Structure 1
């Protein structure tokens, strides 16, 4: 529920003035909860994250791993040799994974 922090706040006197009947009426109004939405309009206006992107083209240049880089055996990310922490049984592990 959104809160408007710029609206004037009620004082203790204002809170005491609310009658029990008024508070109960507000409660029943909020709990009615039936919302009429035309589902066809809603479906057309939303774009889902798994939308069809078959017509989109992504061009990305992939550079192969360089001689001064290694692939961490735990996180499988390519790091520079300066990030090498441990090499165990031929498996290279980066500093983040070793920590």
Structure 2
């Protein structure tokens, strides 16, 4: 038997629902309140607006140099642990993710 997949499906729930008013009445008729989780400590200080002048800002991140057991992938330029080396070619190392 052929099935027309473009035809609307009829289920038992559709026959009892009927109209929009019937659906709203079956849901209890009450409006659902949206709950917004707001952190009291969250302020607008951490938000950077596009086009904002950041010339007076100072770098607050401590940059740690590459360690002896790490390498920089020549493809994605991420610093990885030496256990992630997949291939070394002409002195350049490639990580497992790039060589997949």
Structure 1 or 2: more helix by fraction: 1
